[in-house]
Amino acid sequence: MHRPTTEIALLWLSLVALADPASAQPPAPPVRMTFKEAIAQATERNPSVQEAAKGILRAEALLRQATSSILPALNAGVVNTTVNSGRSFNGVTTLPQDQVTANLNLSALLFAPVQWAERAQAGDNRHVAEFGAADVRRQVAVATAQAYLAVIARRRVLDANVRARDVARAHYELASQLRAAGAGSLLNELRAQQSLSSDEVLAEESAFAVYNAQEALGVLVAADGPVDAAEEPALEVPSTLESAEAAMPQTRSDLRLADARTRAAGRVLSDSWKEYLPSVMGLVQPQYFQPETIFQPSLSWRAQVLVNMPIFDFGYRRATRAERQASFDESKLEQTALLRQVKSDVRSAVEAIKSAERALASARAAADQARQVVDIANISFRAGATTNIEVLDAQRASRDADFAAEVADDQLRRARLDLLVALGRFPE
């Protein structure tokens, strides 16, 4: 006996719900963060920042290794020697069958210019790692700020498309009412419905673009889901640029990193002459023998001074110095190019702000004028003085003008952020 069709349908729907429980639950709303909260969390939890912090720990470990290599060292050893038979002469043991030897080795570098130079170079590398971590935090902060601004811009585009969709829906409803009353036509209704359908597609695409931007922001701040922007950042630029530009070598982490790399390469180059100097090591060795022999007393010690002098190496040190010179010159050129690029970024950001301000003023005026045109076109259409073609054209023009205004507003925000980044004022 077959079950009724309604029961089968209900059973099928329940099985689908059990097979895909996630589809029955609405997605969790995104976490809202302020601009400062997003930047702070990104610079603390982002994996790139954590990797840079591990680089600092590695540099500190190498510095401790270099430091320990120039400090005194103490080693102990115990040896038990067994031979097949002992030896003696006139009742005095000359070679015992079993003998235990214990010794201490105390060594210290008395003169080690190469090792001392390597310790100083390790300290420079630690500073380079610290500045490198700071620059990684800057890059993560800038990427997070850009993602935050993208969320704001895409949400405003969504709002503009939603407004356009609502206006198109109102016009479609009016066209339907006029046709039902015998004062309109099917053509006008279909045109209005087509415009509404197009605006609904744009609104849906804009909503998904907002979600994508929220997901990108969530990845940067190391969150477990999308993150929404809770506010619009102020992004106040300094009124005078002279003092800000003069402070860039101290405020920009990439300039400090380039300077640290150049200094480190210069120290390695300047220390090359120390490889021609000798190294001197002192060694003290107390020893204990049990049993003692006629040739080996129970307690003894000896002291040594070891001098190592490099004489000839087939040009290895000259080649090494040439390589260090090339590295130093390369670092110097990179530092000069970076400083030139930074100054260019400042000038470009200043001009971008001026251009964006002018463009935003014009775009907002155009958007306001387009909305007035829509209002006039709707009034004329209601009065029968025009067709809905003019209304639809006015609506499309208004939607495009709103979109252009939001783009200009986003460009102004990004130009201000670029200027703060170029001056080293972001992140603070």
| High-pLDDT (> 90) share of the chain, % | 56
Q: Which pLDDT belongs to residue 27?
A: 63
Q: Which pLDDT belongs to residue 84?
A: 83
Q: Is 105 helix (H, G, I), strand (E, B) or coil?
A: strand
Q: With CA atoms as reference, report the closest residue to 380 among 391, 392, 367, 394.
A: 391
Class of domain 33-72+112-276+318-423: mainly alpha
Q: d(Cα 237, Cα 424) in Å, to the nearest integer?
A: 11
Q: Which pLDDT belongs to residue 171?
A: 83
**Angle, helix 35-45 to helix 113-180, in steps of 10 degrees:** 140
Contact yes or no for 53/126 (Cβ under 8 A): no
Q: DSSP for 250-307?
A: HH-HHHHHHHHHHHHHHHHHHTGGGGGS-EEEEEEEEEEEES--SSS-SEEEEEEEEE
Q: DSSP for 331-384?
A: HHHHHHHHHHHHHHHHHHHHHHHHHHHHHHHHHHHHHHHHHHHHHHHHHHHHHT
Tokens of 316: 């290895």
Contact yes or no for 405/363 (Cβ under 8 A): yes
Q: Which residues contact 307 (CB under 8 A, 6 or more apart)?
A: 278, 279, 280
Digitized pLDDT (tens) for each residue of the chain, 428 residues in all: 444 444 434 333 343 344 444 444 556 688 999 999 999 999 999 999 999 999 999 999 988 998 998 899 999 999 988 888 777 777 667 778 788 889 899 999 999 999 999 999 999 999 999 999 999 999 999 999 999 999 999 999 999 889 889 988 988 888 888 888 887 788 888 888 888 899 899 999 999 999 999 999 999 999 999 999 999 898 888 888 888 888 899 989 999 999 999 999 999 999 999 999 999 999 999 988 888 777 778 888 889 999 999 999 899 999 999 999 999 999 999 999 999 999 999 999 999 999 999 999 999 999 999 989 988 888 887 777 777 788 888 888 888 898 899 899 999 999 999 999 999 988 87
**Residue 84 DSSP one-character state:** S
Q: Which pLDDT belongs to residue 4?
A: 46
The bridge status of strand 227-229 relative to strand 31-33 is parallel
Q: Which pLDDT belongs to residue 207?
A: 93
10 Å CB burial of residue 46 (0-12, 13-18, 19+) is: buried
Q: d(Cα 247, Cα 310) in Å, to the nearest integer?
A: 47
Q: d(Cα 172, Cα 195) in Å, to the nearest integer?
A: 8
For the chain, the domains span 33-72+112-276+318-423
Q: Is 424 helix (H, G, I), strand (E, B) or coil?
A: coil
